Chain A
Amino acid sequence: MDATLTLLSFSPPGWGGVLLAGLLASLQVAFGGYLLGLLIGTGGAAGKLWGGPILRDLLEVYTTVVRGVPELVLILILYYAGTDAVNQVMHLLGLPSVDISGLAAGIFVIGVVQGAYATEVLRGAILAVPPGQIEAARAYGMSPLMSLRRITLPAMLPYALPGLSNLWLIATKDTALLAVVGFAELTLVTRQAAGTTKAYLTFFLAAGALYLAVTLVSNVVISMLEKRARRGMVRSGGAA
């Protein structure tokens, strides 16, 4: 027991500080990737609903490919292709090639993956808004942008929240896949710590507890948000 505590302590003989730094990196990537995904998702949903035929088909290809290929493979492709592409552009501009930080690449990768799922979630939520409300807004003389801002977006939130909160939980867990491309997030540093000290079970269980804590805290926040977004709505009783 004492040996375990020494291993997990924050000062250098222990690896607790390293684990927490890894957790911080994981959370940064998850958060950044989630925001980027929301951005892509909003644009994607708008494009799928109101875009031209070509844009719609291209978005369909994007969401289908991302949802049909394992995240692990996508992360490998995007990680190499993304850093390669940036360096090619730098080369064309006559600038020296840069070292892409793992953080930026990770956020990009997670964001692209999340974007496809967010597109579908937001599209469905926007479609779930009763058309009468949007027509009423139009009857009041609101411009399309204003009715989007005042009616469609707030009214779709309760429909979008379950999907979006699910995506956040997926984002926090998908960051673990970045371990495969060598980004020092929680899972990878855990494996390094475990490999160095040979205390495999201790470290993997500790990391699991950290991930679980993130999930549980997120769940509490999510249920508060959902309660707030659903205020004034009729509670659907029974099995829907």
Chain B
Amino acid sequence: MSEVQAPVTYVPPKARSLFEPHRLVLMAVAAGLVFCMAWFMRWDWLPRYQERLIYGVGQTLLMLFSTAIVGFLFAVPLGLAQVTGPRPLAWAARGFCTLIRGTPLLLQLWLLYYGLGSLFAQYPEIRSSFLWPYLRQAWPYGFAALMLSFAAYEGEVMRGAFAGVPKGELEAARAYGMGRFTLFRRIWLPRAVQRALPTLTGETVLQLKSTPLVATVTVVDVYAIISRVRQETYLTYEPLLLLALIYLCLTGMLVYAFKLLENRIPNRGA
């Protein structure tokens, strides 16, 4: 039997260096393109908007991280309820996930902002409550829509992660005499989070790509700033190209940061 060869698996081509001849040519072409863009397109508006752009990037990142963190906190009970909750709770959680994942985020956002916003305005009790100064602004609706979306998508991931923790580990914990909450806190939750971590990068990047939607309900993020530039300078492409570049850089940094984070977490046998 020792003669039997291991099945031939796909061997990825060697990591190729950045400086192969064809890549040098491609990089030269790319540099030429960038130079043409810098030279022939209009960028004189850039210094005037620099501060606002930085502020916008900050707002985008704030929106991203706040919604992702709060959304993840909601995702844990959503996943848990689907795996082990009593029937009605499991159905409710599953229904919520299906509902959010089955409709476009833009529609949810507009439903919250225009629909709920107009509904709130009809009730004098809400208008006179301490929450009204916040509910009159746009960002709570943007935050709620993004947060619910992240919770639903990540809740689905957490469901799979909770269900995928090997039964033996849970039984071993029970055999040690752990109570249900100790077991959850010490074994089930950490193991599930560990299993869900690799998908977290992708979900966070998707969330970043969803943040510009909040600009459609007048929240000021980097997308809104660029729209402002386009209206004021009558330029079509330059601001949009810069915006694409900004998002590309943000995505790249996010992916890199998550890679660092993942390397710090031992994942043997996960």
A interface, CB within 8 angstroms of B: 53-54, 57-58, 65, 67-74, 76-77, 80-81, 84, 127, 130-132, 169, 173-177, 179-180, 187, 190-191, 194-195, 198, 200-201, 204-205, 207-208, 211-212, 215-216, 239
Contact = CB atoms under 8 A, between A and B. Distances in A.
Contacts of B106: 176-177, 179-180, 187
Contact of B240 (A68, A76, A131): A76
A80 B236 contact: yes
B104 A80 contact: no
A185 to B, nearest CB: 10
Q: Across the A-B interface, give the 6 residue pairs with the lowest CB-CB distance, nearest first.
A: A176-B104, A215-B102, A239-B164, A204-B111, A68-B251, A70-B209
A207 B107 contact: yes
B163 interface: yes
Contacts of B103: 173, 208, 211-212, 215
Given A57-B26, A131-B10, A239-B163, A72 B107 contact: no
B23 A198 contact: no
Interface stretch (B50-58, B80-88, B175-183, B242-250): B242-250
B198 interface: no
Interface in B191-236: 205, 208-213, 216, 223, 236
Given A57-B23, A72-B212, A187-B104, A204 B114 contact: yes
16 contacts: A53-B22, A70-B212, A72-B213, A73-B240, A76-B240, A77-B241, A80-B237, A131-B9, A131-B10, A177-B213, A191-B110, A194-B115, A200-B118, A208-B99, A208-B103, A208-B107
- For the residues of B in contact with A, the DSSP-based class is helix
Nearest to B208: A70
Given A127-B10, A130-B7, A177-B106, A69 B248 contact: yes
Q: Is the interface of A mostly helix, strand, loop or mixed?
A: helix
B3 interface: no
A205 B116 CA distance: 11
Contacts of A54: 22, 25-26
Nearest to B251: A68
Nearest to B227: A76
Contacts of B114: 191, 194-195, 200, 204
Contacts of B163: 239
Contacts of A127: 10
Nearest to B215: A72
Given A54-B22, A69-B248, A132-B8, A205 B99 contact: no
A79 B233 CA distance: 19
A151 to B, nearest CB: 15
A132 to B, nearest CB: 7
A133 B166 CA distance: 33
B110 A68 contact: no
B73 to A, nearest CB: 24
B111 A73 contact: no
B252 interface: yes
Interface in B1-29: 7-10, 16, 20, 22-23, 25-26
A13 B63 CA distance: 40
Contacts of A187: 104, 106-107, 110
Given A211-B104, A216-B102, A69 B111 contact: no
B248 A68 contact: yes
Nearest to B160: A239
Contacts of B244: 65, 69, 73-74, 77
Contacts of B210: 70
A123 to B, nearest CB: 11
Contacts of B37: none
B135 interface: no
Nearest to B165: A239
B105 interface: yes
Contact of B22 (A57, A131, A201): A57
A73 B212 contact: yes
A175 B103 CA distance: 11
A55 B10 CA distance: 20
B119 interface: yes
The listed residue with most B CB atoms (<10 A of its CB), out of A81, A191, A204, A211, is A204
